[in-house]
Amino acid sequence: MTFRLYVMRHGDALMRASRDSLRPLSQLGHDQAIDTAKHLHSHLCPTPDNGAGNAIGLVLASPYLRAQETTRHVVEGVGYTSDVVTCDKITPNDAPDSVIKLLSDYESYGSVLMVSHQPLASALIGRLVSGHYHEGPPMGTASIVCLDMPTAGIGMAELKWIKHSEI
Cα gap 49→47, rounded to integer Å: 5
Q: Is the pLDDT of residue 107 over 60?
A: yes
- pLDDT for residue 48: 46
At 75-93, the pLDDT tens digits run 999 999 998 999 999 999 9
At 40-71, the pLDDT tens digits run 998 886 544 544 456 899 999 999 999 999 99
- Report how far apart, in Å, the C-alpha atoms of 120 and of each of 37, 76, 117, 166 are: 21, 25, 6, 22
Average pLDDT over residues 15-32: 96
**Cα 53 from chain centroid (whole Å):** 18
Which letter does DSSP use for residue 64 in this model? Answer: S
- pLDDT for residue 51: 44
DSSP character string of 115-155: EE-TTHHHHHHHHHHTS-GGGSPP--TT-EEEEEESSS-TT
- pLDDT for residue 74: 97
Cα gap 123→100, rounded to integer Å: 11
- pLDDT for residue 43: 84
Q: Is the pLDDT of residue 130 over 70?
A: yes
Average pLDDT over residues 113-133: 97
Cα gap 66→21, rounded to integer Å: 8
Residues 47, 53, 56: CA angle, nearest 5 degrees: 150
Residue 118 CB coordination number (10 Å) = 17
Domains assigned to the chain: 3-15+24-163 (3.40.50.1240)
pTM over 0.85: yes
Give the list of residues 6+ apart from residue 43 with CB closer than 8 angstroms, or none. 54, 146, 161
9 and 33 Cβ atoms separated by less than 8 Å? no
SS3 28: helix
- pLDDT for residue 54: 65
When the pLDDT of each residue in the chain is averaged and rounded to a whole number, the result is 93
